[in-house]
Every structure is written in structure tokens, then in C-alpha cells.
Amino acid sequence: MKRSLLPWLVVATVLLLLFPMAAEKFYLQLVTKIMILAIFALSLDLLVGYTGLVSLGHAAYFGIAAYTYALASQAADPANVWLTLPLALAASAAAALLVGALVLRTSGVYFIMVTLAFAQMAYYFFHDTRIAGGSDGIYINTRPDAHLPGLDLADDLHFYYFVLALLAIVFALLAVVLRSPFGRALQGIKANEHRMRALGYATLHYKLAAFVLAGTIAGLAGYLAAAKEGFVNPEMMAWHQSGAVLMMLILGGMGTLFGAVLGAFSYVLLQEWFSTLTKHWQLLMGGFIVAAVLLLPHGLIGLHRLRIKSRAPRPEGDGD
């Protein structure tokens, strides 16, 4: 079944590669934003879809990297990607390590609540203190510079391909990690953590490593979002941002990497479409998500699964 998604993946990649040729500036920027959110959704999928950790505070790591980048690039000259990106990722990773070490001792609804609580603390820290512009946030004067020949991130087209490349790298990285022994252990933890402990797995360490990896990748998305928009504000780590990325996952299909990307695309495109229809687009979006959950319990990616099933019914009890 995994293999049957491959053609779709190739088609999607080719479409994204060719897209800028046909697109106006507005759509180029829109798809750039969507790809950044797809990286964000992929990072949350590692936790929710593969490790069984439903975090409602994932935007904190998105925001922390964004703020780190903003604070580190206050000079008039463009910031160096190779300095500010590792710094931003390290900040998100450190925050995830600290928070993860505490919240992973809880589970179920308590886990959801404490991840939310920590994210809200981060939100109010930046909202209510003066160190980073308070509720107004900070403007960043220039896009960062990657110092690569021929690459000018200030150019929207170049930035588009930069983000696309990072999306592909994150996708491939997660695909490799999830097939590795470490990734299999995470999926075992999602399926039955008690059994994993009984087999001898120190599950807390695995969950913490997943939490830090997910936080770091969310940080990459936050860095790119700040670089793209040219400003940061506390809303980047507000709980509705955490909720939105969770809805992307639910919409696209948790526990598949392709589903996370599909979720980011469908969520943002629906949002754009609904907001042209009415000011109250959230009502339509809410209704759509409810319908999707009821009709497609595996998300949009589940459509593909249904099609496979109907085409080739699996014979009962066939051997190897």
C-alpha cells in the first residue's frame, strides 16, 4: 500500500516543481506558505500519527524558532542562514527537550492539557514582556541570506524552491526514520506502550527523542514562516495555531506522511476558498472538518485506501 502512493508522490513533486512557471506572485506566495505549514504538519504527524502523542501546544516550537531568528537578525544586513537557522533549531530543540521531559510523564487528556499549558506560557511570555515587541511582535527587515551562488532568498521564486527543497528533505528524513528500528519502536509505542515496556523498551526515552525531533522540525517551519513574512508575533504560538495544524493532520490523514502534506494543502486552500464566499469562513471550515471526520475517519488520504481496498479485496487468511 505504501508503494502505491509513490506515483502520487512523484506527480505532486513534479507539479510543485513546475508550478511557479504558471503561477502569479500571489499564488506562488500562497503555495510557499502552504509548504511551510506542510513541514509543520509533518512534524506534528511524527508525534500524533506515529507515536500516539496528541500535542495541543506544538505551535510553541514553531514560534520559538521564529522569534529566535527575528531576535538574531535585527541588523540592517540580511542574517546568515547558516548561523541563524541552527540557532533557531537549537532553541526549539532545547525548549522541546525541557517541556518534553516534564509533559511526557503524563498521558492521555493530561498530556493534551499540559502541552497546551506550556505553549500558552510561551505565548504570554512573548505577548506580555517587552523583550520582543510584546503583542505587536517584531519586524525583520530582510530575508536571510544562504550565501549560495545563484540563490537569492529575497526573491520569491528562489525562496519557493528553497522551501520546496526543505519540504522534500523533511519528508525523506521522516520516511527514513520511520522505517528504522527507532521509528518502528515509536509505532509500537503508539499501538501499545505497556507492551513495549514489557518487552524492555525504555519508552520514555523514545518518546522524548520523538518530541525533540518533532519540535525541531516545527522550528524549521517557524523559521521559514518568519523569513517569508518578515515579521513575528505571539499569534504564531497561540493555541489556535496548534489547533490549526492538528486539524490539517485530521483532514489529511494522520499516520501517513503524504496525508500531513495533503492536509496542509487542503486546509489552506479551503480556507482561501471559503473566505472568498463569506466573512464567516470558519463556520464553513468547521462544518467541513466535522463532515470529513464523520465520512473519512482516515482523512483525505483514506480515499486512496478505500480505492485500493475496493480494487483488490484482501483474501482472508492468506499465508506469507
Indicate which single residue of 108, 149, 150, 200 sits in contact with another protein (rule: CB under 8 A): 200
CB of 228 to another protein, least distance (A): 29
CB of 198 to another protein, least distance (A): 6
- Longest CA–CA span in the chain (Å) reads 67
Report 145-184 residues binding another protein (CB under 8 A).
Answer: 176-177, 179-184
Spatial separation of the C-alpha atoms in residues 244 and 96, rounded to whole Å:
19
CB of 160 to another protein, least distance (A): 29
The gap from C-alpha 1 to its chain's centroid, in whole angstroms, comes to 24
- Pick the piece of the chain touching another protein (CB under 8 A) from 50-58, 141-149, 192-200, 293-301: 192-200
What residues contact 84, with CB distance under 8 A and at least 6 apart? 68, 69, 72, 73, 144, 223
Spatial separation of the C-alpha atoms in residues 212 and 228, rounded to whole Å:
24
- Number of residues forming the site for another protein (CB under 8 A): 30
Residue whose C-alpha cell is 522505517: 179
| Radius of gyration, CA atoms only, the chain | 20
Dihedral angle of Cα 105, 110, 112, 113, to the nearest 10 degrees = -110
280 interacts with another protein by CB under 8 A: no
Residue whose C-alpha cell is 528504522: 180
Site string for another protein, 288-317 (x = CB under 8 A): ----------------------------xx
Q: Which is nearer to another protein, 151 or 208 (CB)?
A: 208
Q: Which is nearer to another protein, 205 or 280 (CB)?
A: 205
Q: Which is nearer to another protein, 63 or 188 (CB)?
A: 188
Judged by the rule CB under 8 A, the positions of this chain that interact with another protein are 176-177, 179-185, 188, 191-192, 194-203, 205-206, 209, 316-320
